[in-house]
Structure 1
Amino acid sequence: SVSEPKGLHFTPEGGWGWMIVAGCFLATICTRAVTRCVSMFFVEFQMHFEKDYSNTAWIHSLIDSTTMLCAPLGSFLGNRLSCRATVILGGMLSSAGLIISSFANSLEYLYMSLGVLTGLGFALSYTPAIAMVGKYFSERKALAYGIALSGSGIGTFLLAPAVQLLIEYYSWRGALLILGAFVSNLCVCGALMRPLEPRGKDSKFNEAKQSDNNPLVNPSSRAQCFCFESREEFGFLLIPSFLILSMSFLFMAYGCSPPIVYLVPYALSLGVQPQHAALLMSVFGVCGIVGNITFGWITDRGRFRMLSYTVAMAMEGLCCMFMPFLSSFSLLVPFSILYGYFDGAYVALIPVVTSDTVGSTYLTSALGVVYFLHAIPYLLSPPIGGWLVDRTGNYAATFFLSGASFIFSSAVLAAAMLVRHCQRSKLNSAAHLNPTIFTKVEVKFNVSTNCKNGDNLNRFKFGPLCVINNSV
Structure 2
Amino acid sequence: MPCRMRKVDAKAPEVDVANQPDTEVRPPDGGWGWVVCLACFLTNCTVPGTTSINGILLIEVLELFNESFSKTTIVFSIIAGAIMFGGPLVSIALMFKASHRQIMMVGGIIAAASAVASSFAPNIETLIFTYGILVGFSLAVNYFSVNVTLGQYFLKKRVLALGIATSGKGFGGFMMSYLSTKVISFYGMRGTFIILGGILLHLTVYGALCRPLKPVIKQSPNISQNEPTSADEMEGHANIGFETEGESQESKDEKCGDSKRRISEDTEPLPKMLRARKSITSEIVPSEIYKRESSYCNTTMFKNKYFHLLLAIYTTYSVGESFYVYIPLYAVSIGLSEEESSLIMAIYGIIGIVSLLLIGFLVDIIHIPTSYILMMALFITSLGSILIPFCQSFETLVLCAAMNSIGTNFASSLRIVLVSAILGTDNMTAAYSILSTLIGILYIIYPTLKGFVYEATQQLSVIFYFDSAILFLGAILSCGIVYAQKTEKFVE
TM-score between both structures, scaled by the size of structure 2: 0.72
Residue matched to 1:293:
357
1:81 deviates by: 2.5
Tell me, yes or no, if the aligned pair for 2:294 and 2:430 is still in contact at 8 Å: no
1:108 deviates by: 0.2
Alignment of 1:179-218 (within 5 A): 179-196=196-213
Residue matched to 2:102:
85
Greater Cα radius of gyration, structure 1 or 2: 2
Q: Is residue 404 of structure 1 aligned with residue 421 of structure 2?
A: no
Residue matched to 1:59:
75
> In structure 2, what residue type is equivalent to 1:127?
F
Alignment of 1:303-452 (within 5 A): 304-354=369-419, 366-422=431-487
**Cα gap change, 1:143/1:231 in structure 2, threshold over 3 Å: closer, same or farther?**
closer
Specify which of 145, 149, 159 is matched with residue 128 of structure 1.
145
**Cα gap change, 1:376/1:384 in structure 2, threshold over 3 Å: closer, same or farther?**
same
Q: Is residue 272 of structure 1 aligned with residue 336 of structure 2?
A: yes
> In structure 1, what residue type is equivalent to 2:75?
I
Query: Aligned-residue CA RMSD in angstroms?
Result: 3.1
> In structure 2, what residue type is equivalent to 1:276?
E
**Cα gap change, 1:339/1:231 in structure 2, threshold over 3 Å: closer, same or farther?**
closer
CA distance in 1, matches of 2:423, 2:215: 20
Alignment of 1:84-103 (within 5 A): 84-103=101-120
CA distance in 2, matches of 1:50, 1:191: 40
CA distance in 1, matches of 2:131, 2:26: 39
1:163 deviates by: 0.9
CA distance in 1, matches of 2:484, 2:457: 40
CA distance in 2, matches of 1:94, 1:317: 34
1:386 deviates by: 1.8
CA distance in 2, matches of 1:397, 1:7: 58
How many residue pairs match? The answer is 398
1:421 deviates by: 2.8
Residue matched to 2:192:
175
Specify which of 26, 35, 42 is matched with residue 26 of structure 1.
42
Residue matched to 2:245:
none
* Structure 1: runs of 5+ lacking an equivalent: 204-228, 425-459, 463-472
Q: Deviations over 1:13-55 (max 9, x none)?
A: 5554433332222111211110121321112111121122111
CA distance in 1, matches of 2:413, 2:468: 20
**Cα gap change, 1:78/1:152 in structure 2, threshold over 3 Å: closer, same or farther?**
farther
Tell me, yes or no, if the aligned pair for 2:294 and 2:429 is still in contact at 8 Å: no
**Cα gap change, 1:155/1:83 in structure 2, threshold over 3 Å: closer, same or farther?**
same
Tell me, yes or no, if the aligned pair for 2:118 and 2:127 is still in contact at 8 Å: yes
Residue matched to 1:104:
121
Tell me, yes or no, if the aligned pair for 1:17 and 1:136 is still in contact at 8 Å: yes
CA distance in 1, matches of 2:74, 2:214: 42
Tell me, yes or no, if the aligned pair for 1:127 and 1:364 is still in contact at 8 Å: no
CA distance in 2, matches of 1:200, 1:232: 24
1:95 deviates by: 1.2
CA distance in 2, matches of 1:112, 1:202: 52
CA distance in 2, matches of 1:187, 1:359: 35
TM-score between both structures, scaled by the size of structure 1: 0.75
Instruction: Please identify, of 242-251 and 381-390, the stretch whose mean Cα deviation from structure 2 is larger.
Output: 242-251
1:75 deviates by: 3.9
Residue matched to 2:296:
234
Q: Is residue 74 of structure 1 aligned with residue 90 of structure 2?
A: yes
